[in-house]
A = this chain, B = another copy of it.
C-alpha cells in the first residue's frame, strides 16, 4: 500500500515586530538590519525540504525586480495571478485559483511546498486551511506602515510552537505548525 501524501505548505517570511512584511512602496530595506555575512537564517536548509514554490504575482514581480535569476534553483515555481502575461517562461505554471492549485499540488507526490507570499496569497490559503506551517522571522524594528503579513478578516486558528531561534542581529525565528 502506498503512503498517503502529506506535502506541507509552509510560509517562510520575515516581518517587523509591528507586523509588516514591507514598508511603504514595497520597501524591503528594513531587512538590511539583520544582514550578516555567512548567516542565511536557515534559508538554504529550509529550501532542501521543498521542491515547489508558490508565489503571488506582485511578490513574483518584486523578486524579478532585483535583476537576479530567481532564487529557487531546481524548484518548480507557480505564480498565482489573474493577469500575468510576461515572464511565463521563467515559471512552471500560473493559476488564478490558489485553492485549486494547492489542492492539486497536495494530491501529487513531492517534497513540501514553500509559500513565499505575498500577504494576499497567504491570506487566501490561510482562510482555506491550506497552510500547514509558518516560519516567521521577526525583525527588531517598527516600520509603522506598509504591507501587513496578516490582513483583516483572517481565520482564527490555534498554532503549536515548534521552535524559537534567536540570532545575533536580533532576529527571532518562530516556527509554528497548525494544530
Contacts and interface: CB of A to CB of B under 8 A. Distances in A.
Interface of A: 17-19, 23, 33, 126, 134, 136, 138, 140-145, 148-150, 152-161, 164, 166, 170-172, 174, 176
Contact of A166 (B134, B160, B164): B164
Nearest to A162: B170
Given A17-B134, A17-B174, A174-B172, A144 B166 contact: no
Contacts of A126: 142
A145 B152 CA distance: 6
A116 B172 CA distance: 24
A140 B171 CA distance: 18
Contacts of A138: 174
30 contacts: A17-B136, A17-B150, A17-B159, A18-B19, A18-B149, A18-B150, A19-B19, A19-B150, A33-B158, A126-B142, A138-B174, A140-B158, A140-B159, A140-B176, A141-B157, A141-B158, A142-B150, A142-B154, A142-B155, A142-B156, A142-B157, A142-B158, A144-B153, A144-B157, A145-B153, A159-B170, A161-B166, A161-B170, A161-B172, A172-B172
